Structure 1
């Protein structure tokens, strides 16, 4: 029998680390999980090279430096209760970081559903990502559309707003989901379509357009009473890691400087600006790209958090860029 893969959790908060390790062991199908309070303890306990490292942001830099030499192929999950700026900056430098998880201060652990999802993806499961209904509680209300025109884009946004209010959401929260829908569809319908590597519609985001059935994105809206989600998938796969991180980090840095009240530099425009706006209004954003094949962005909003508190809590970003598997690939 082959040896079980090793996972490493580094966090001085022992109760939280133990819970996270248990979730990771389950999500990985029973990997051996080592829990340590700091890097020194981790080095003492490890017998095998870890394939996945989950670490509190306060231990991130020493763990990254050590792992570059000792576990260069390991994927990394990081969480923080403070601003995500430091961890996102590290993700810009180190492509092994797949997930930066915002840990709400009122919770005893990072969101365990995010830990489980990040673990499964890091272990090679779910190449294209999970459908929205798989991220919500069983029995959630889910609706899907496939808009092809600018008029249909607007109709979908109106439909999302109406559905949210029918499900009992406040007008402000329902509007937030409708705004997220608009951002995601603008990115998928105007920025994503390309032919011969050249964008087809990004030059004029105010023009009326009509997509072919093959170009049309799919949008899914869902709510289970705890989480509210919007997921958009386009068939192009043109969003990249560098653009995603640079855009979000630019906005996070500006918000950190101004306390979230100052103006945002919108000179970059396009999908990048939209991604930052999505990130700042969500509990978590999941970006999953198969280059040249598909881009899936999922916006998740935590309905258990008061709306005014969402401005100060750290947000989560899970980011995966994976090659397209050929039919022969097992």
Structure 2
């Protein structure tokens, strides 16, 4: 079931379209009391809420403790998530959808976000194909060593440029997303039984093999509207709050000067998100993590103020 609490008719209509695309029942309420009553019989319901100020959000969130499972709250907003960091601190956070143009709360974007909702609800398989149209072109790339990363990304971008004539700006963002997601899988994901990093302090120019538990899946696909980048690791060690804090933190300009030769080069996640990409993270503890970035093919990255974008998570 997908439930909406919003005074905005555009957002209610958007949520209704998402529910239809995702194959979910839909209900809309204006009062919190009626909402709580409706979802008590379905604690797995996903809530779409529009509470633009922190105080209003806190009032909405408090009664949910005994009525809903974690990661079931999707926030519909006009502000960037960095301006509403209180949302990601919620134990119910499952996603943030934003657009500062009312025209973008439309059926096309509802269909795109519905794919993420199906993955979050577990009603469809994971994998990069779940985020793209059925006829999408998908490329899977194998890496045997961490030192394969740069050449692999270069080769993939050259292939995309030939096949789809991607713009230089889009290719730059594909490279950025690929590099950051691969770096996280290679250096942040490997941990010991206590959660301590195994290779986090290893110099980036030092080779280590990507086999066994350290193997990585790297996939890139595109359809008529989007390019998707997905990296899968088999440690399942991603920390949700650390991840979200990286993305929403407002970085000073000098913090963007990242030395890729040294450990801890993780600020790229925030740069990916600010470049207009949508992000979805699915982590099954101690099993695997899928990190997916979705880029709009015809977007004027970083220049247009009218964007539709989402950040969503599923942690098990």
TM-score range, shorter chain: 0.7 to 0.9
CA–CA distance in structure 2, aligned partners of residues 54 and 209 of structure 1: 45
CA–CA distance in structure 2, aligned partners of residues 292 and 271 of structure 1: 23
Residue 243 of structure 1 and its aligned partner are, at CA, apart by: 0.7
Q: Is this contact kept in 2: 1:191–1:201, CA < 8 A?
A: yes
Cross-structure match for 2:128: 132
The counterpart of 2:142, out of the listed 146, 164, 172, is 146
Cross-structure match for 2:170: 173
CA–CA distance in structure 2, aligned partners of residues 286 and 271 of structure 1: 20
- 1:81 matched to 2:78: yes
| 3-state SS, counterpart of residue 135 of structure 2 | coil
Residue 165 of structure 1 and its aligned partner are, at CA, apart by: 1.0
- 1:17 matched to 2:12: yes
The counterpart of 1:318, out of the listed 303, 312, 316, is 312
| 3-state SS, counterpart of residue 87 of structure 2 | helix
CA–CA distance in structure 2, aligned partners of residues 244 and 193 of structure 1: 15
The counterpart of 2:254, out of the listed 263, 283, 296, is 263
Residue 108 of structure 1 and its aligned partner are, at CA, apart by: 3.8
Q: Is this contact kept in 1: 2:21–2:110, CA < 8 A?
A: no
CA–CA distance in structure 2, aligned partners of residues 70 and 190 of structure 1: 37
Q: Is this contact kept in 1: 2:236–2:285, CA < 8 A?
A: yes
Q: Is this contact kept in 2: 1:248–1:272, CA < 8 A?
A: no
Report matched runs for 1:155-174 at 5 Å. 155-166=151-162, 167-174=164-171
| 3-state SS, counterpart of residue 153 of structure 1 | helix
- 1:112 matched to 2:110: yes
Structure 2 unpaired stretches of 5+:
none
- 1:302 matched to 2:300: no
| 3-state SS, counterpart of residue 151 of structure 2 | helix
Cross-structure match for 1:211: 209
What CA RMSD, in Å, does the superposition of the two structures yield over aligned residues?
2.9
Q: Is this contact kept in 2: 1:49–1:70, CA < 8 A?
A: no
Q: Is this contact kept in 2: 1:146–1:216, CA < 8 A?
A: no
Q: Is this contact kept in 1: 2:73–2:92, CA < 8 A?
A: yes
CA–CA distance in structure 2, aligned partners of residues 188 and 125 of structure 1: 26
Q: Residue by residue, what CA displacement relative to the aligned partner does 1:20-74 show, whole Å, maximum 9, x if unpaired? A: 22422552x44241243xxx4x545775226322012427753553443256342
- 1:245 matched to 2:240: no
- Kindly tell me the number of residue pairs found equivalent between the two proteins: 301
Q: Is this contact kept in 2: 1:99–1:118, CA < 8 A?
A: no
- 1:280 matched to 2:265: no
Cross-structure match for 2:190: 193
Structure 1 unpaired stretches of 5+:
256-261, 323-330
Cross-structure match for 2:62: 68
- 1:53 matched to 2:47: yes
| Ranges of 4+ aligned residues in structure 1 off by more than 6 Å | 265-269
